[in-house]
């Protein structure tokens, strides 16, 4: 393992991250909210720390291997999450503890969207912008790692997409071609963000709100500049725009890259995962909207609108809200929370287990039923026209088993801190799936839970964002053995 090279990369990341603090500094100066000194101090600490990590290793050259990839990928969010908490700690408003600041920072960077802050409408503009920027930066980091790196690491069946990534070559090295992939994906990401911001602005948002919400929509983060989230605007047009862009951001960004490069939409239609993702969400939206209307919770028009919006928002793990879905009747709140376990497609900014894994497990279940009826038949498992190797299916089921095991352990730990079952269950689901809002005590804010519970949920956010195995493998003796 190339420890020196890993420090060099982390140092570069910190120095690059420090430069992004100039944007909220500019926002602070523009609006005159007086918070810019906190960002200047945070910039200095982050830049100096990055330089101290980078300078001793600046001339080291070596090929990064798979184990290096696991460590860098895990440290990417852990380190930036800690340094990203500095502005929250240093700013006079909001006054956050270390636990709260780290929670808010990691929630932003992992695009979870869970918050410990209330009174967003009264926060300084620069802090509001910084929260949204954290999600946007985390989103592009997720895209690059999910499309360019995780398939090469073979994380829980993601090697299925190795042949479809637009950049890296298929070997065990993290090659310079990842830089080419990153540039292409960044271009797609920026274009989608820009068009989303323009659409929000045209629908009636202020330019500040439009940019901020475009950041969190494309990142599928869910942070808002208002306590009432998207519901603050009370606009069907804004809700429908959000639905469209949440769905777009929930689809594999490699497909967006191909669509732009070849000026064709055939890839979306031919991609099995995208079809499964869209059909599942729309089917669930029909159930939710129908029940809301039949139960007289909303009128027909409102039921259709809120049912569609809230289903897409929760299923893609964006976490925007227009109504208190935790108070919806009967099974609906739990149905929506369970939908977040699927999340977005592989290579998207969405959280959850990813649609491709759920699709493969569903296909495997159907195949097993057919095999019971025809025990001597040879029934291959296919995604599209490609046969899926047994080791990929095995990896997916292993991922699912570890996912559920981690969920149960974290659930027990949270309940040990004093949370009731409903709040604990939804809090784990909301963090490990990078969703944000939960039920019970965490329906609107996580500020009321204990500090140990917040640290447990910080780990849960990292675990979910890093596809479980990437983080857990660091705790195995085999990983560190020479």
| Secondary structure (DSSP) of 247-276 | HHHTS-HHHHHHHHHHT--HHHHH-HHHHH
Query: What is the tens place of the pLDDT at every residue in 352-384?
Result: 999 989 999 999 998 889 888 888 888 888 877
Tell me, what's the pLDDT at 386?
80
Tell me, what's the pLDDT at 148?
60
In this structure, are residues 106 and 86 in contact, taking their beta carbons and an 8 Å threshold? no
Tell me, what's the pLDDT at 172?
35
Kindly give, in sequence order, each residue whose CB lies less than 8 Å from that of residue 268, ignoring residues fewer than 6 positions away: 251, 255, 259, 274
Nearest to 313 by CA among 346, 286, 350: 350
Mean pLDDT over 265-291 rounds to 92
pLDDT tier, 40 (very low <50, low <70, confident <90, very high otherwise): very high
Strand partners, 383: 386
Instruction: Tell me how crowded residue 163 is: count the other CB atoms within 10 A of its CB.
Output: 9
**The pairing of beta strand 382-383 with beta strand 386-387:** antiparallel
Cα distance between residue 455 and residue 105, in whole Å? 12
Contacts 24+ apart (CB under 8 A), 231-236: 231/321, 231/322, 231/323, 233/204, 233/205, 233/209, 235/203, 235/204, 236/305
In this structure, are residues 379 and 141 in contact, taking their beta carbons and an 8 Å threshold? no
Tell me, what's the pLDDT at 173?
38
User: pLDDT at residue 160 above 50?
Assistant: no
Kindly give, in sequence order, each residue whose CB lies less than 8 Å from that of residue 367, ignoring residues fewer than 6 positions away: 379, 381
Q: Where are the beta strands (DSSP E) in 255-354?
A: none
User: pLDDT at residue 78 above 60?
Assistant: yes
pLDDT tier, 170 (very low <50, low <70, confident <90, very high otherwise): very low
Tell me the C-alpha to C-alpha distance, in Å, between residue 10 and each of 105, 338, 429: 18, 36, 30
Kindly give, in sequence order, each residue whose CB lies less than 8 Å from that of residue 469, ignoring residues fewer than 6 positions away: 155, 156, 399, 402
Window from 171-180, 217-226, 255-264, 265-274 with minimum mean pLDDT? 171-180
Query: What is the tens place of the pLDDT at every residue in 48-76?
Result: 999 998 888 777 666 667 777 778 878 88
Helices (H) and strands (E) in the chain, counts: 22, 2
Kindly give, in sequence order, each residue whose CB lies less than 8 Å from that of residue 346, ignoring residues fewer than 6 positions away: 146, 158, 160, 161, 252, 273, 354, 355, 356, 357
User: pLDDT at residue 107 above 60?
Assistant: yes
Report which of residues 6 and 206 the model is more confident about: 206
Kindly give, in sequence order, each residue whose CB lies less than 8 Å from that of residue 131, ignoring residues fewer than 6 positions away: 104, 108, 223
Query: What is the tens place of the pLDDT at every residue in 408-451?
Result: 999 999 999 999 999 999 999 999 999 988 898 998 889 999 99
Cα distance between residue 404 and residue 402, in whole Å? 5
Tell me the C-alpha to C-alpha distance, in Å, between residue 28 and each of 36, 40, 124, 126: 6, 11, 8, 5
Kindly give, in sequence order, each residue whose CB lies less than 8 Å from that of residue 453, ignoring residues fewer than 6 positions away: 414, 417, 418, 419, 427
Strand partners, 387: 382
């Amino acid at each position: 393992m190339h420890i020196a090279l890993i420090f060099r990369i982390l140092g570069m990341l910190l120095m690059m991250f420090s430069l992004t603090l100039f944007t909220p500094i500019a926002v602070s100066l523009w609006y005159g909210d007086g918070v810019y000194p906190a960002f200047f101090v945070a910039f200095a600490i982050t830049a100096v720390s990055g330089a101290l990590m980078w300078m001793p290793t600046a001339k080291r050259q070596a090929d990064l291997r798979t184990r290096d990839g696991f460590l860098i990928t895990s440290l990417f969010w852990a380190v930036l999450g800690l340094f990203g908490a500095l502005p929250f700690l240093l700013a006079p408003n909001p006054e956050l503890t270390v636990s709260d600041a780290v929670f808010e920072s990691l929630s932003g960077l992992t695009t979870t969207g869970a918050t410990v802050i209330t009174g967003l409408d009264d926060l300084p503009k620069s802090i509001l912008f910084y929260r949204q920027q954290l999600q946007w930066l985390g989103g592009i980091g997720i895209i690059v790692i999910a499309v360019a790196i995780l398939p090469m690491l073979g994380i829980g069946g993601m090697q299925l997409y190795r042949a479809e990534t637009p950049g890296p070559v298929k070997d065990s090295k993290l090659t310079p071609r990842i830089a080419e992939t990153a540039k292409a994906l960044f271009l797609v990401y920026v274009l989608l963000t820009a068009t989303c911001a323009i659409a929000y602005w045209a629908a009636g948002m202020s330019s500040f709100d439009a940019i901020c919400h475009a950041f969190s929509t494309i990142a599928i983060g869910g942070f808002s500049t208002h306590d009432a989230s998207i519901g603050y605007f009370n606009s069907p047009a804004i809700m429908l725009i959000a639905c469209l862009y949440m769905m777009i951001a929930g689809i594999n960004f490699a497909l967006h890259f191909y669509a732009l490069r070849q000026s064709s939409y055939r890839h979306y239609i031919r991609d099995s995962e995208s079809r499964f993702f869209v059909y599942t969400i729309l089917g669930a939206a029909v159930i939710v909207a129908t029940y809301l209307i039949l139960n007289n919770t909303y009128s027909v028009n409102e039921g259709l609108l809120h049912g569609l919006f809230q289903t897409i928002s929760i299923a893609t793990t964006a976490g925007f809200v227009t109504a208190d879905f935790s108070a919806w009747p009967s099974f609906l709140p739990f149905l929506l929370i369970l939908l977040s376990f699927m999340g977005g497609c592989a290579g998207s900014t969405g959280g959850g287990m990813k649609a491709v894994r759920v699709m493969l497990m569903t296909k495997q279940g159907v195949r097993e039923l057919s095999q019971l009826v025809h025990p001597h038949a040879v029934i291959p498992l296919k995604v599209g026209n490609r046969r899926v190797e047994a080791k990929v299916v095995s990896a997916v089921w292993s991922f699912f088993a570890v996912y559920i095991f981690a969920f149960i352990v974290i659930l027990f730990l949270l309940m040990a801190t004093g949370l009731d079952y409903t709040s604990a269950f939804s809090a784990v689901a909301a963090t490990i799936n990078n969703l944000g809002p939960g039920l019970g005590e965490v329906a609107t804010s996580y500020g009321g839970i204990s500090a140990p519970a917040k640290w447990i949920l910080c780990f849960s956010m990292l675990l979910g964002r890093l596809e479980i195995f990437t983080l857990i493998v660091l705790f195995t003796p085999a990983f560190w053995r020479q």
